[in-house]
């Protein structure tokens, strides 16, 4: 971990320094836990109060913020802090290395400068772009293509058979899953997530898309670019998701549903078979509906008892009145 001066950090962040430019920063932490040699940041107005009591040696702050001490003013504090963090905790990424316990088919093509962890298995004709990282125990079936600079976390499984069966008389026969998986550049796939191969054609994950742990993507889904998918969400077959969509955790998406670019889906929502989710307002609930409508329904349910009492009252009055 290299120690940096506040001035160096300001340079890395593209921010304007105020205070002690030679202050040495060797770590980073939250406002509450940062000490005199640590960097911290203020994400928003809510955090400004906390900042007053912070012991952090240097603060990354929004442009309009003012306070005694060493500050770096930037327009996007969170992004700037992330960049500084990467510099402060920089570990020399191991140069291209393939762990001796990884098993890689002879016909697979591994790009330059890839790191392939212990116990990974890479099938026939797999192609992996330059600079990608596979942590321990990743399994990649035959014919999968993965872009450059992708990160695959431990235990994820790419290219297993899609879940397709045909009831034939008294038993199910396997619908052959002869397609593949294509994962874009700069994608990140979480631990123990599963991306199934297409039945025919490919299951696609776009460039820059980030998938959390324990996510399931079924055969022939087409997930766009720069999509964010939180943990334990599952997509049934042939779902399409547009670029920059944001999908919460534990969401379930039915077959052939369409989620538009930039749409936002709340945690645990259930999207029905062939449902079309638009951008603009987040959706929530099962079946997923615009957030306001769902909240109104929830609120109304709570008022049901009151309404029932009112009706009872009316009936009484009518009976006594007549």
Considering the complex, state which of residue 22 and residue 106 has its C-beta at the smaller distance from its own copies: 106
Q: How far is the CB of 239 from its own copies (least distance, A)?
A: 12
Token representation of residue 242: 């547009």
Question: Dmax of the chain from CA atoms?
Answer: 92
- Which residues are 97's β-sheet partners? 115
Are the CB atoms for 120 and 98 separated by under 8 Å?
no
219 is a catalytic site residue? yes
Q: How far is the CB of 208 from its own copies (least distance, A)?
A: 5
Q: Which residue in 53, 11, 63 sits closest to 32, CA to CA? A: 53
Residue of 160, 261, 279, 291 that binds its own copies (CB under 8 A): 160
Check binding of 19 to its own copies (CB under 8 A): no
Question: How far lies 296's CA from each of 264, 269, 270, 301, in Å?
Answer: 18, 16, 18, 9
Residue of 75, 82, 292, 316 that binds its own copies (CB under 8 A): 82
Binding to its own copies (CB under 8 A) within 200-259 occurs at 200-201, 208, 210, 212-214, 216, 218, 226, 228, 230-232, 234, 236, 249-250, 252, 254
Considering the complex, state which of residue 21 and residue 295 has its C-beta at the smaller distance from its own copies: 295
Binding to its own copies (CB under 8 A) within 34-73 occurs at none
Are the CB atoms for 260 and 282 separated by under 8 Å?
no
Neighbours of 154 (CB within 10 A): 17
Torsional sign, CA 220, 222, 228, 234: negative
Q: How far is the CB of 25 from its own copies (least distance, A)?
A: 14
3-state secondary structure of 283: strand
Binding to its own copies (CB under 8 A) within 165-204 occurs at 165-168, 170-176, 178, 186, 188, 190-192, 194, 196, 200-201
> For residue 233, which phi and psi values (nearest 5 degrees)?
-80, 150
Binding to its own copies (CB under 8 A) within 296-315 occurs at 296-298, 300-305, 307-308, 310-311, 314-315
∠60-33-8 over CA atoms, to 5°?
A: 35
Binding to its own copies (CB under 8 A) within 258-297 occurs at 267-268, 270, 285-287, 296-297
Selecting among 219, 226, 276, 294, the annotated active-site residue is: 219
Total number of residues that touch its own copies (CB under 8 A): 97
Check binding of 135 to its own copies (CB under 8 A): yes
DSSP code at position 270: E
Which residues does the annotation mark as catalytic? 219
């Amino acid at each position: 971990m290299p120690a940096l001066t506040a001035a160096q950090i300001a340079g890395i962040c593209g921010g304007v320094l105020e205070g002690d430019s030679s202050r040495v920063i060797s770590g980073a932490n939250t406002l509450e836990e940062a000490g005199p040699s640590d960097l911290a940041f203020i994400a928003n107005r809510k955090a400004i109060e906390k900042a007053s009591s912070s012991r952090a040696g240097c603060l990354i702050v929004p442009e309009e913020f003012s306070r005694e001490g060493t500050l770096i003013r930037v327009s996007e504090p969170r992004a700037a802090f992330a960049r500084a963090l990467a510099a402060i905790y920089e570990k020399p990424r191991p140069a291209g290395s393939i762990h001796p316990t990884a098993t890689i088919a002879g016909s697979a093509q591994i790009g330059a400068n890839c790191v392939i962890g212990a116990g990974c298995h890479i099938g026939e004709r797999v192609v992996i772009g330059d600079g990608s990282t596979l942590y321990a125990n990743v399994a990649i079936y035959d014919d999968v293509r993965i872009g450059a600079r992708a990160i695959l976390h431990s235990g994820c499984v790419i290219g297993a058979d899609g879940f397709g069966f045909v009831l034939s008389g008294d038993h199910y026969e396997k619908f052959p899953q002869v397609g593949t998986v294509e994962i874009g550049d700069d994608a990140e796939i979480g631990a123990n997530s599963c991306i199934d191969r297409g039945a025919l054609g490919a299951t696609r994950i776009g460039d820059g898309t980030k998938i959390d742990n324990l996510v399931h993507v079924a055969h022939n889904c087409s997930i766009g670019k720069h999509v964010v998918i939180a943990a334990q969400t599952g997509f049934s077959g042939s779902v399409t998701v547009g670029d920059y969509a944001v999908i919460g955790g534990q969401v379930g998406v039915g077959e052939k549903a369409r989620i538009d670019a930039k749409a936002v889906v709340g945690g645990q929502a259930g999207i029905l078979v062939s449902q079309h989710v638009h951008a603009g307002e987040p959706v929530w609930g099962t079946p997923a509906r615009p957030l306001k409508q769902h909240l109104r329904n929830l609120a109304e349910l709570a008022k049901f008892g009151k309404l029932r009492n009112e009706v009872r009252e009316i009936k009484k009055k009518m009976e006594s009145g007549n």
